[in-house]
């Protein structure tokens, strides 16, 4: 649902220059590339580029820039780029190749992505993403990524949520792992050639700016505790999302907001932090012992049917509940898309059924995902060929055979659409600081469609950043002075980073970072999770401030900082989550509408769908840090829709 648009209350901030090309949307990227400055091959070796993060976005960007001849320094928090969280992606990657001849096109992928994000994304960036999607598949096939294939040898596709075509390429249930291995292979080739220098087990603790430009970073060696300064002509942040602010999420435990938050405090605007994605198909919470949750791929909804009993409190085993006593509620509510509605829609529907007393399992916080019909229709071997590793994972965790009984699933935090604000060229409000992949805000609006995260990460790294970073260096590189890392600017930021770590070590309290993090996660889930309201959000701000004060009075860190100390690592990340979470709640409180994954209970239709307010909130909210204890300043980027016209987001017909 949407209201009439008059633009009467949305004022574009003069501080935000999106640099959207002056051309029709389908021609913008070509127009932009044609106008860009270049760096000659002989001059590229003069420039150093830092890439923080080596998941799909970081590995592909580092490899591509090194292939062009730049000197690249790549930093990963793990012991190897192969352990980046991109490895966990299961279901697939979208591309508009129309192999099934079922009506797909670049425009349809573009429009469905904008619509899936509830018209809260920048359409120029989304169209570019759709237009380069086919190139990503070609690149990955050339690298040897083992995509699933049809009997005749052509690449196979399947459907994901929010679409009515088959455009998702996949490697069974291990797509992220295989794509990351492809990016890793080309990255390590550049390491072998000496063009990329790898820095494993490093955590970025701060960003250094000189004369207003990003010129380096401060890192801590996680093995020996040493602080390091690293200089460059440009810095690329590819550090993923902040879903672990909720403590329980499908993210790897190392995923954090620290790099992005430090950049925010140095002048990079943070956009739409309240936009978080709740994935509908996750293994439900089973107790307080858990430190994370496990995703069950959205691809399972191609063959699995979601249902709950029609009667409240029906505890019969699933096979004993006849068809007439089952409510296939997604198929009932959304007949045009059925079980393949977008993630935010499916998640809210599951929550509504469970809240109304129709949930299953011991907690009542689960619904069934049933494959009996697919097995009867296609045969057990066919279902195993598509999903066997996912069924095996489910059985290892739950000790239940999903070939014989339905899976039990429930929504969980999975992805964050908010991130550092970037312009069309992926450059933040700090010149020379580029932000790629999930760490930026630009492509998914208020809800990401399934199989689009891998697409964005590789699009940014392989096909966008190599142009835009070159344009930046071609324009400003010759005017930059050399920096050695010993300048006052570096020394000052290094001292601040050391001071934060020493402050944490000096508390000597009684509560572990994990205990405090779990408490923060409960606050965020209860008041800023799948459903939000003004009273709850205001309550959350007070609770966050109290918990932050408790952290600095009572956190316990055993050991020292001069060696491997994972408790200290976690504490630093929790400290940043305790600051970031307040901004996230403030953004949710400010946005008096419901859109995508941001569901304000005060703003919903009669049948419980999102109620947008395009007149007052058709903008990206970019927040500027104004100092500790000061209210951040809101800057608005008005969102224009000239190619994807505003419409009610309808998945019922």
Find, among 294, 77, 51, the residue nearest to 187 by Cα: 51
Cα distances from 223 to residues 203, 344, 562, 568, in angstroms, run 11, 40, 8, 12
Q: Which two tokens stand for residue 518?
A: 């779990």
Paired with 271 in beta bridges are: 419, 622
**What are the residues facing 462 on neighbouring strands?**
none
85-117 as b/e, with b when 16 or more CB fall inside 10 Å? bbbbbbbbbbbbbbbbeeebebbbbbbbbbbbb
How far apart CA 427 and CA 170 sit, in angstroms, is 31
E strands in 579-618: none
CA–CA separation, 519 vs 167, rounded Å?
40
Q: At which residue do the structure tokens 């009684």 appear?
A: 510
Q: What angle do CA 415, 420, 425 make, to 5 degrees?
A: 110
Q: DSSP secondary structure string, 460-506?
A: IIIIIHHHHHHHHHHHHGGGPPP--S-SHHHHHHHHHHHHHHHHHHT
343 is catalytic: yes
- C-beta of residue 58 within 8 angstroms of C-beta of residue 52: yes
Query: Is the CB of residue 91 less than 8 Å from the CB of residue 175?
Result: yes
CA distance 339 to 304: 8
Do the beta carbons of residue 233 and residue 49 sit within 8 Å?
yes
Helix (H, G, I), strand (E, B) or coil at 10: coil
- The catalytic position among 195, 301, 305, 343 is 343
d(CA 602, CA 214): 42
What is the chain's Cα-based Rg? 24
Tell me how crowded residue 72 is: count the other CB atoms within 10 A of its CB: 27
Instruction: Tell me how far apart the alpha carbons of residues 109 and 166 are, in angstroms, rounded to a whole number.
Output: 11
Tell me if 130 sits within 8 A of 459, measured CB to CB: no
CA 106 to chain centre: 22
C-beta separation of 268 from 421 below 8 A: yes
Strand partners, 168: 94, 158
| Nearest Cα to Cα of residue 585 among 538, 645, 547 | 538
Residues 308, 315: Cα–Cα separation, whole Å = 11
Give the β-pairing of 234-237 and 202-210. unpaired
| Cα atoms in the Cβ-side hemisphere of radius 13 Å centred on 419 | 30
Asked if 245 and 521 touch (Cβ cutoff 8 Å), the reply is: yes
Phi, psi angle pair for 122, to nearest 5°: -80, 115
CA distance 274 to 271: 9
Which pair of structure tokens corresponds to residue 246?
């909720």
Report, as residue numbers or ranges, the catalytic residues: 343
């Amino acid at each position: 649902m949407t209201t009439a648009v008059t633009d009467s209350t949305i004022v574009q901030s003069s501080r935000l220059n999106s640099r959207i090309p002056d051309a029709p949307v389908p021609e913008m990227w070509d127009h932009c590339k044609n106008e860009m400055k270049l760096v000659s091959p002989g001059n590229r070796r003069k420039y150093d580029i830092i890439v923080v993060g080596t998941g799909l976005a970081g590995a592909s960007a580092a490899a591509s820039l090194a292939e062009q001849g730049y000197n690249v320094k790549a930093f990963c928090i793990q012991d190897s780029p192969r352990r980046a969280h991109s490895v966990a992606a299961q279901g697939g990657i979208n591309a508009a190749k129309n192999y099934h001849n079922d009506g797909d096109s670049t425009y349809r992928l573009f429009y469905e992505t904008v619509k899936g994000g509830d018209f809260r994304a920048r359409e120029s960036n989304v169209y570019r993403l759709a237009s380069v999607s086919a190139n990503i598949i070609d690149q990955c096939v050339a690298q040897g990524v083992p995509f699933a294939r049809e009997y005749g040898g052509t690449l196979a596709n399947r459907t994901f949520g929010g679409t009515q075509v088959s455009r998702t390429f996949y490697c069974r249930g291990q797509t992220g792992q295989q794509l990351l291995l492809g990016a890793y292979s080309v990255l390590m080739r550049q390491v072998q050639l000496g063009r990329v220098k790898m820095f494993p087990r490093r955590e970025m603790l701060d960003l250094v700016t000189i004369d207003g430009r990003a010129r380096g970073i401060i890192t801590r060696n996680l093995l020996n505790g040493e602080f390091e300064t690293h200089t460059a002509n440009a810095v690329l942040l590819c550090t993923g999302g902040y879903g672990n602010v909720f403590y329980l999420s499908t993210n790897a435990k190392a995923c954090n907001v620290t790099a992005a938050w430090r950049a925010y405090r140095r002048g990079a605007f943070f956009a739409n932090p309240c936009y978080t994605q709740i994935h509908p198909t996750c293994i439900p919470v089973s107790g307080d012992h858990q430190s994370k949750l496990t995703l069950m791929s959205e691809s399972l909804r191609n063959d699995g049917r979601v249902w709950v009993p029609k009667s409240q409190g029906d505890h019969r085993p699933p096979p004993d509940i006849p068809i007439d006593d089952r409510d296939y509620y997604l198929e009932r509510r959304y007949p045009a898309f059925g079980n393949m509605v977008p993630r935010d829609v499916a998640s809210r529907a599951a929550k509504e059924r469970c809240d109304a007393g129709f949930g299953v399992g011991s907690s009542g916080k689960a619904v069934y995902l049933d494959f009996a019909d697919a097995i009867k229709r296609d045969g057990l071997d066919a279902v195993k060929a598509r999903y066997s590793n996912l069924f095996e994972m489910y059985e290892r965790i739950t000790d239940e055979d999903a070939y014989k009984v339905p899976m039990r699933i429930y929504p969980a935090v999975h992805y964050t659409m908010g991130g550092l604000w970037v312009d069309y060229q992926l450059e933040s409000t700090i010149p020379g600081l580029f932000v790629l992949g999930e760490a930026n805000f630009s492509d998914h609006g208020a809800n990401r469609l399934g199989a689009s995260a891998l697409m964005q990460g590789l699009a940014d790294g392989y096909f966008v950043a190599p142009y835009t970073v070159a344009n930046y260096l071609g324009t400003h590189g010759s005017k930059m002075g050399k920096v050695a890392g010993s300048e006052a600017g570096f020394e000052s930021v290094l001292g601040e980073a050391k001071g934060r770590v020493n402050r944490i070590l000096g508390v000597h309290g009684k509560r572990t970072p994990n205990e405090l993090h779990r408490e923060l996660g409960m606050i965020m889930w209860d008041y800023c999770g799948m459903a939000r309201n003004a009273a709850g959000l205001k309550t959350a701000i007070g609770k966050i401030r109290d918990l932050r004060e408790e952290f600095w009075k009572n956190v316990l860190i055993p050991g020292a900082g001069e060696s491997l100390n994972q408790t200290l690592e976690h504490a630093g990340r929790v400290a940043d989550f305790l600051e970031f979470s307040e901004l996230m709640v403030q953004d949710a409180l400010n946005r008096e509408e419901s859109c995508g994954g941001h569901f304000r209970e005060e703003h919903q239709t009669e049948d419980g769908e999102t109620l947008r307010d395009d007149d007052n909130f058709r903008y990206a909210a970019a927040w500027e840090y104004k100092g500790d204890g000061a209210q951040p300043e809101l800057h608005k980027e008005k969102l224009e829709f000239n190619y994807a016209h505003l419409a009610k987001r309808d998945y019922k017909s």
